[in-house]
Amino acid sequence: MSKYFRRKLFIYVLTFFLAVTIDWLIPRFMPGNPIQVLIARANLKAESAKVVYSYYMRAFGLDVPIWNQYANFWNALFHGDFGTSLWLFPQPVIKIILRAVPYDILLLLPAILLSWFAGNKFGAFAARSKWLDNTVSPLGYVLTATPYMWLGMLLAWTFGIVLRVLPFSGAYSYALMPTLSWIFIWSLLEHWILPFVSLFMVMFGGWAIGMRNMIIYELEADYSHYLETLGAPRRLIRRYAFRNALLPQITGLALQLGVIVAGALVTEIVFSYPGIGYLILQAIQNHDYFLLQGCFLFVIIGVLLANLAIDVTYVLVDPRTRTGMQGER
C-alpha cells in the first residue's frame, strides 16, 4: 500500500511542477504588455507616462530576461510570495484571492454537493420507472443544456425585477458591511438563493442524466443478468447496479470540488457575486500575470488534492482497487 501511495505522490509532485510552469508560461504568451494596460487606464500625461512606465517595468521585474523572471517566480513562491496584482495594484495577490474564495465555497459547495446528491437519487429513480424516465430525463437534458448566463438572467429578471421578492446583486445587501449579526446572515442567505438555484438546476440535470444512463448500462451488464438468473430479488440487483454506477459519479464530484476555487464565472457576473471567477476573467482581460498565476495555482492545488481524495476513496469504496494493490506485493 505504501508503495502505491509513494508512486502516486511522486506523480503528484511532478504534475504540480509542470502545471505551475505552464501556469506561469501561458499568461506570458498573450500578445501585449501588461504595463501598457496599466498605463492606458491611468490616463497619464505623456511626458510623465514614460517615467512611470520604466518605473513599473522595474517594480514588477519585467525588465529582466524571461528565464530570470521564471527563476524569480519560483524563488518568490517558495517564500510564500504570490506577487502583486497589476489590475488591482498595489494589492497583494494572496489577499485578493483569500477575500474572494469564501464566497465561492459558500456558493459552490452546497450547489455541487446537493445537486450531486439529488441528481444521483433522481437519476437512479428515473431509470426505474418509464413514466419518470419520460418526464425527468428530458427535463434533465433541457436543464443541463441551458446556458448559465441565460438561466441566471431569467431568474434575476423574474424574481428580482418583476416580482421583486429576491435580491439579484451582490453577496449581501449593499447597505451592510460584513458583521456577525442576524441581519447580515439573513441578507447573505437571501442573496445566495438565486445564484444557488441557477447553479443547482443546471448541475442537477447533468448528474441526473449521468446516473440514469449509468444505471441502465449496469442493469444490462453480465453480473446483473447473472444475479437475475440466480433468482436474486430486483431490489438487490438495483442496489449493486447503483453502487457500480456511483463510481464515475464520485470521480466527477471530486473533480468538481477540485476546481471549486476557480469559481463560477458566469453566475458571478450575472449576480455580481464577488467570487474568484470574475477575478480570473478580469485578470485575463487586464493581462494581470500575477493574479492569474495565483488563481490558477489554487486551482492546481485543488485539482491535485481532489485527485488524491479520489485515489484514497477508491481504495475505500472499490474492492477491486484494494485487490489490485495486494497483487502488487
Q: Name the site residues for another protein (rule: CB under 8 A).
A: 30-33, 36-55, 59, 85, 87-91, 96, 99-100, 103, 153, 156-157, 160-161, 164, 168-171, 173-185, 268-272, 274, 278-279, 282, 285-287
- Tell me how far, at minimum, the Cβ of 68 lies from another protein, in Å: 21
- Residue 207: count other Cβ atoms within 10 Å of its Cβ: 25
- Per DSSP, the residues of 246-291 read HHHHHHHHHHHHHTGGG--HHHHHHTT--SHHHHHHHHHHTT-HHH
Q: How far is CA 203 from CA 51, 79, 157, 171, 304, in A?
A: 51, 39, 21, 21, 22
Cβ-based nearer residue to another protein, 15 or 173: 173
CB 156 to another protein: min, Å: 6
Q: Give the bridge partners for 84, in sequence order.
A: 92
Q: Are 171 and 103 in contact (CB under 8 A)?
A: yes
At position 280, the amino acid (one-letter code) is I
When the beta carbons of 256 and 286 are compared against another protein, the nearer one is 286
Q: For residue 265, which of 248, 285, 289 has the smallest C-alpha distance?
A: 285
Task: Output the smallest distance, CB 82 to another protein, in A.
Answer: 15
Q: Which is nearer to another protein, 161 or 230 (CB)?
A: 161
Q: How far is the CB of 248 from another protein (least distance, A)?
A: 25
From first CA to last CA, the distance across the chain in angstroms is: 8
CB of 46 to another protein, least distance (A): 3
- All cell numbers assigned to 81: 510570495
CB of 285 to another protein, least distance (A): 6
Check: CB of residue 258 under 8 Å from CB of residue 306.
yes
Which is nearer to another protein, 115 or 187 (by Cβ)? Answer: 187
Angle made by CA atoms 170, 197, 269, in degrees to the nearest 5: 40
Residue 74 beta carbon to another protein: minimum distance, rounded to whole angstroms: 25
Closer Cβ to another protein, 45 or 329, answer by number: 45
Residue 30 or 71: the one with the smaller Cβ distance to another protein is 30
Burial of 163 (0-12, 13-18, 19+ CB in 10 A): exposed
14/42 with CB nearer another protein:
42
CB-CB contact of 264 with 277 (8 Å): yes
Pick the closest to residue 211 from 251, 241, 245, 240 (CA basis). 245
C-alpha torsion 130→136→141→143, nearest 10: 180
CB 294 within 8 A of CB 249: no
Query: Taking the complex as a whole, how short is the minimal distance between the CB of residue 228 and another protein, in angstroms?
Result: 30
The rounded distance, in Å, linking the Cα atoms of 271 and 171 is 8
Distance of alpha carbon 218 from the chain centroid? 29
Q: Which is nearer to another protein, 23 or 288 (CB)?
A: 288
CB of 57 to another protein, least distance (A): 9
> Closer CB to another protein, residue 172 or residue 204?
172
